[in-house]
């Protein structure tokens, strides 16, 4: 099981030192995400300061871009990192795509699957010096003149992972991608009863990887654990208020909680949202305990079905995070 750290920085020039520190601590990879800043630029800086660390977007928003742009970026980061880049893509939700990015939205699972296939078709045209002739329902790429062809990447082609929550996107990931990124807002029950069945037999293939986001709270005293619970509850309440993720709550019969969280979110009552998260929801959607107990819980929930974990860890004691990390690696 590989462990990835979140490469969060306000100034991308700091990414090199941060990535090098993570590599020295024994992390297997780092990931960025589409938030206030671009997800690709920190990884380009991290390429020069690391030698073994895998570099991943988890995630970049696919529908904010087009397959050719993503193919170029992915090719370049694979070249710069000497074969250590993984292109993680997500669809986002309709309001953000249409109102924030001013891009088209329709049939998201089908469109995302086609986007991945289009990127791979572009890469294969470059790698094997073949004519580019991709014609799909949403994307068409049929022109590639020698000037724009970077040709063979000596480090091979990157893997593409798709972020997925619902059955349709999970099935698209199984069909088109090299791996799936499971959203942090999930439970062991939803993972085994929704995620794995939707992937079919693909998750059993050696060449298909599951990367899983996790919400972790750590403490060495009850006071520290209680404080970590509040942070985890805040994150869970935000996810639980979003209609796109309500299916995770429905698996456990918490439909009414989603409706109330959604209502409070529209009024901006974020503290109240956090405070109405019951302990049984925290137990299902987060792992909150001492490092030793949390590591044991994680390994018991997922066993050998996942290739890498991408934890969001809440703790007031940084050494607890390092202890948790080493317990998982053992």
**Tens digit of each residue's pLDDT (9 = 90 or more) over 92-136:** 989 999 999 999 999 999 999 999 999 999 999 999 999 999 999
Q: Hey, what are 28's tokens?
A: 């297997």
Sign of CA pseudo-dihedral 175, 177, 183, 188: positive
Tell whether 248 is covered by a domain.
no
Tell whether 101 is covered by a domain.
yes
- The model's confidence at residue 18, banded by pLDDT at 50, 70 and 90, is very high
Tell whether 127 is covered by a domain.
yes
* Phi, psi at 28, each rounded to 5°: -85, -30
User: In angstroms, how far is CA 191 from the centroid of its own chain?
Assistant: 15
Q: Looking at the chain, how many residues does it have?
A: 330
The average pLDDT across 274-283 equals: 96
Does 293 score more than 70 pLDDT?
yes
pTM metric for this prediction: 0.92
The DSSP secondary-structure symbol of 200 reads G
The DSSP secondary-structure symbol of 137 reads S
Tell whether 267 is covered by a domain.
no
Tell whether 158 is covered by a domain.
yes
CB 89 within 8 A of CB 166: no
Instruction: List the domain range (segments joined by +) for residue 15.
Output: 2-214+294-329
CATH number at residue 60: 3.20.20.30
What is the count of structural domains for the chain?
A: 1
User: Locate tokens 């509040």: which residue?
Assistant: 230
Tell whether 233 is covered by a domain.
no
Average pLDDT, the chain: 95
pLDDT of residue 175: 98
Tell whether 280 is covered by a domain.
no
Diameter of the chain measured on Cα atoms: 64
CB 56 within 8 A of CB 158: no
**Residue from 230, 243, 250 nearest 189 by CA:** 250
d(CA 305, CA 254): 26
Tell whether 132 is covered by a domain.
yes
pLDDT of residue 304: 64
d(CA 163, CA 89): 6
């Amino acid at each position: 099981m590989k462990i990835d750290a979140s490469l969060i920085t306000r100034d991308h020039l700091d990414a090199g030192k941060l990535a090098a520190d993570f590599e020295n601590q024994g992390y297997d990879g780092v990931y960025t995400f589409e938030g206030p800043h671009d997800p690709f630029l920190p990884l380009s800086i991290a390429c020069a300061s690391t030698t073994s660390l895998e570099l991943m977007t988890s995630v970049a928003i696919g529908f904010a871009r087009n397959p050719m742009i993503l193919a170029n970026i992915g090719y370049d980061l694979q070249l710069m990192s000497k074969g250590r880049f993984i292109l993680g893509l997500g669809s986002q939700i309709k309001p953000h795509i249409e109102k924030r990015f001013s891009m088209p939205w329709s049939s998201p699972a089908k469109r995302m699957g086609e986007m991945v296939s289009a990127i791979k078709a572009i890469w294969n045209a470059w790698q094997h010096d073949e004519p580019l002739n991709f014609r799909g329902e949403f994307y068409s790429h049929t022109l590639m003149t020698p000037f724009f062809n970077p040709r063979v990447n000596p480090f091979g082609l990157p893997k593409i992972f798709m972020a997925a929550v619902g059955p349709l996107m999970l099935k698209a990931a199984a069909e088109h991608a090299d791996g799936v990124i499971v959203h942090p807002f999930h439970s062991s029950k939803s993972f085994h009863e929704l995620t794995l069945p939707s992937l079919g037999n693909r998750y059993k293939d050696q060449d298909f990887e599951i990367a899983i986001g996790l919400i972790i709270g750590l403490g060495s005293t009850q006071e520290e654990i209680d404080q970590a619970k509040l942070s985890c509850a805040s994150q869970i309440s935000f996810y639980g208020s979003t209609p796109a993720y309500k299916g995770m709550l429905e698996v456990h019969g918490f439909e009414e909680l989603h409706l109330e969280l959604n209502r409070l979110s529209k009024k901006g009552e974020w503290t109240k949202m956090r405070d109405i998260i019951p302990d049984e929801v925290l137990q299902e959607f987060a792992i909150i305990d001492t490092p030793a107990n949390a590591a044991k819980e994680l390994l018991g929930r997922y066993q050998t079905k996942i290739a890498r974990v991408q934890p969001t860890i809440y703790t007031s004691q940084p050494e607890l995070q390092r202890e948790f990390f080493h317990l998982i690696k053992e």
